[in-house]
Structure 1
């Protein structure tokens, strides 16, 4: 077997041979709010990193707020000297960037697998959860589904406008599921799909969703949870870039229009043992019921992850398939945890609560912790919606309440890491307070 450095070096050299005009490569990682940060490296310097030279970025880049600012969180940011932390290249992720004007590459970097991983880095949080499950003989298979809106490239007074139908030139303001919308927007959708495939992402089904200019992309089922979350993160980046190139604006914002459905991140998860047996299907599906109970028990405490900003909470209780309580059901899209109809081999849960702009690493980590907790606790879940349409437990619907519910939850502190929980909750609290520091024109209309 090749050493990690030899494998990476071969990957970089192959990229240079295949893309001789690309002089730079963006080295990128996802921060807590779900934005990419990183550095643009000359490709020849990337060879040195692949060969073993140190790759360091500020540790506190992970702590950036939604607008890129730094918050005082414990001793981080302002009392720690803003130290660097080691990162490593993620093998297999060096790909061309085709949506910018100049040839370019991009590659994921991470602190997981380094000598001193950053405890609150999203990818590291997920890596620890997956490692613990692997030691227990549990192997998740994961598939993400992401909804997003296309808007006109130009905003009007800061507000999004309906995407223009390429054939008629009119605003695509008719919400529907018609297949013709896929044909009318085929140029940009095909470009998005092909660009994603060029990034190594397994794109499957494309759907025209109910909102005007709203679409959904499904990814293939993946037996590597980190790679599945990588796909979701990279798809968001490439899709925004392709949309701008094609004359649109793409957004994974949770609720861009109050009168139309929001955009969600649906995650399918099944669990297998080393022999390939579906753990959820054993013993007349009793483990499935336990796993569902664990997910529902922790769900109210994971709301800052599933609804990571003020706008995401607007999506809850919306017009279509957006739950207002922690619930589950068989083939029921009103449930937070849906059990799709399948044979025992493919039995799985579909977690439907997270907004499309949530951090995919953290969403998957929270779901897996819920499943793990349920399998350990072996409790029975509440009645499914198929039996009782009023079944469900309440969860917080405002950020500060959600943060309080998350921060003191002992299972989350144990299984996601107490340091991560404290840092994440304070980041969300500070972001929410910063968001409130602007007086909207409506306040003057109401109260002046």
Structure 2
């Protein structure tokens, strides 16, 4: 513990030396809906925390709804006195923030690794899954891919507007995959990539996607699942900030335009043993098929995680590569679980169903639980789409149905934690009901 504190203290002191103009550091963590919460600390107080002073925030901050409100969930929020819970600093995440008007730093905090972790904190949920796999001799390597849209900074009547082409000044309203779009928006994209790298994120490929103003950023493969999810979370925060600095609005909203493709979170996962052997490639790839079968079996019960809000369900069955049934296939982007072409060393699955605004910690936890269950059950999957284009099993396409399917699933309750499943499902149920409490103008047009 003393060595851990000395490492953190050295990190904070090095940061202060390299960034003497930074007076405050945002200590941040991801809540259940995937938003950052936290506190802004004077940097000298951060040094005390690094040296061992307690760091406490309200436990129920994790339970905030998508609009920041608190819901009554069991005894939480209104019958528990709103207690504090310990957090700790995540080593290696103290970085400068370059999109604010004043010099600032930020650092991740978490309850995992403390004496009393919060059972429903997303990072803690993933940490427990990874720890269990490690005890089984299974070591995941993970790479996220995130799609997002750029919009004009100003909304019009509350609606997003196409991003303006910096060269022509015209709206970028043509769906395409042209490489020229990367050149036209190079200033903001280059800043996003460099800012991500400054945050310690391994950015690789940048792609212009099909939707107008839509792009995809790929991250490097990482042998630390927590760090891979940290990268995805931090990238969303920095990308929004950099976009605003350049006069745009960046959004990871799942389906901002009905007529154009939605934005997804694709997750590549391979599994290795302690000697570095790819477990999915052994025994004529039977473990790969078993892992796929487990993913597909649990997928219908994980829909509140993969599609965490009303809008995310709109993305399913869209115009491009968005499945409507739990399916798999080799080199097939219409499948929920795609097996990219690779050599045995790099054999992996690509899970393509989650929306870009899903919580990366929970998405990865759900995928890993599916893989784990498949390796344990050793069942054969349904036919791949390469053999049968109609292959697949149904999954819920509405939030309340999805919540019911998740809450009663015994494998998820066991492997993700019953307390987490209950809290998460009630959070999603309450968010959905709150969303329904506003009458849309269309209702008046149809029924007034």
> What TM-score comes out, normalization by structure 1 length?
1.00
CA displacement 1:191-220 (0-9 Å, x = unmatched): 000000000000000000000000000000
CA displacement 1:46-69 (0-9 Å, x = unmatched): 000000000000000000000000
Shift of 1:288: 0.1
CA displacement 1:21-75 (0-9 Å, x = unmatched): 0000000000000000000000000000000000000000000000000000000
Kindly tell me the number of residue pairs found equivalent between the two proteins: 448
Shift of 1:280: 0.1
The 1-side partners of 2:235 and 2:333 are apart by 24
Shift of 1:358: 0.0
Unaligned runs of 5+ in 1: none
CA displacement 1:226-253 (0-9 Å, x = unmatched): 0000000000000000000000000000
The 2-side partners of 1:318 and 1:245 are apart by 32
The 2-side partners of 1:6 and 1:391 are apart by 55
3-state SS in 2 of match to 1:174: coil
CA displacement 1:174-206 (0-9 Å, x = unmatched): 100000000000000000000000000000000
3-state SS in 2 of match to 1:274: coil
CA displacement 1:385-406 (0-9 Å, x = unmatched): 0000000000000000000000
- Partner of residue 118, structure 2: 118
The 2-side partners of 1:24 and 1:3 are apart by 25
Shift of 1:347: 0.1
> What TM-score comes out, normalization by structure 2 length?
1.00
- Partner of residue 254, structure 2: 254
CA displacement 1:95-138 (0-9 Å, x = unmatched): 00000000000000000000000000000000000000000000
Question: RMSD of aligned C-alpha atoms?
Answer: 0.6
The 2-side partners of 1:123 and 1:3 are apart by 23
CA displacement 1:148-191 (0-9 Å, x = unmatched): 00000000000000000000000000100000000000000000
The 1-side partners of 2:2 and 2:210 are apart by 49
Q: Which structure 1 residue ranges, 4+ long, deviate > 3 Å from structure 2?
A: none
Shift of 1:2: 7.3
The 2-side partners of 1:4 and 1:228 are apart by 21
- Partner of residue 434, structure 2: 434
The 2-side partners of 1:28 and 1:4 are apart by 20
The 1-side partners of 2:39 and 2:4 are apart by 22
Shift of 1:145: 0.0
3-state SS in 2 of match to 1:341: coil
The 1-side partners of 2:177 and 2:250 are apart by 18
CA displacement 1:377-427 (0-9 Å, x = unmatched): 000000000000000000000000000000000000000000000000000
- Partner of residue 14, structure 2: 14
The 1-side partners of 2:335 and 2:252 are apart by 21
The 2-side partners of 1:369 and 1:167 are apart by 47
Shift of 1:301: 0.1
3-state SS in 2 of match to 1:3: helix
- Partner of residue 305, structure 1: 305
3-state SS in 2 of match to 1:93: coil
